[in-house]
Amino acid sequence: MKLILASQSPRRKELLGYYTNDFQVRVSQADETLPEGIDPGEAVALLAQRKAQAVAALPECKGCRIIGADTVVAVEGHILGKPHSPEEAREMLELLSGRVHSVYTGVAVLGPGEREVFTQRTQVEFYPLSAREIDDYVATGEPMDKAGAYGIQGRGGLLVRRLEGDYFNVMGLPVARLARVLKMLEQGEKAGG
């Protein structure tokens, strides 16, 4: 069965490549608005499913196995998405400075007769950050397309004191857990004919 990643994220593409190079990428045009006050874990599961469903509806994707994923950063249950401006990036980094926050990634795998959805959570603690450190990091431009205004796999990794959980989850795809889900589905596919 053809495997499709419903994401434009180069990081997700790279991470799925650790499991297999035999997949295609289709960008999802799914609605990413969320109900007010939704739990972060529920939010990422909902968005991952929407992304996968939007790509599954494309004529060329009928009969394919689709992976959708979404990642958010949350502090005390408050979701931080991608910043819309350098000022918003600074505010997010000030909020994360010296604190522990959660990174949630929801993953949905949809195929003919298949629906596997899971959420992974990783706890991340930042060092206390000076205004200069924040300004210097924002000036790199790296925070602008990242949930919570940082990328752990880039210069944002210099802000992290410690983490508990899956590092790749913070990058946007808990690939070890996803690999187990895909293996289970592939074995079921072989057993079923």
Tell me the C-alpha distance between 174 and 87, whole Å: 30
Of 78, 64, 47, 65, nearest to 172 by C-alpha is 47
Find the catalytic residue in 70, 135, 136, 145. 70
Instruction: Read off the tokens for 30.
Output: 């799914």
In this structure, how many other beta carbons lie within 10 angstroms of the beta carbon of residue 20? 11
65-75 vs 78-80, strand pairing mode: antiparallel
Tell me the C-alpha distance between 135 and 82, whole Å: 17
In the annotation, is 31 catalytic? no
**Residue 168 in contact with residue 174, Cβ under 8 Å?**
yes
**Phi, psi torsion values for 99, nearest 5 degrees:** -125, 165
Active site residues: 70
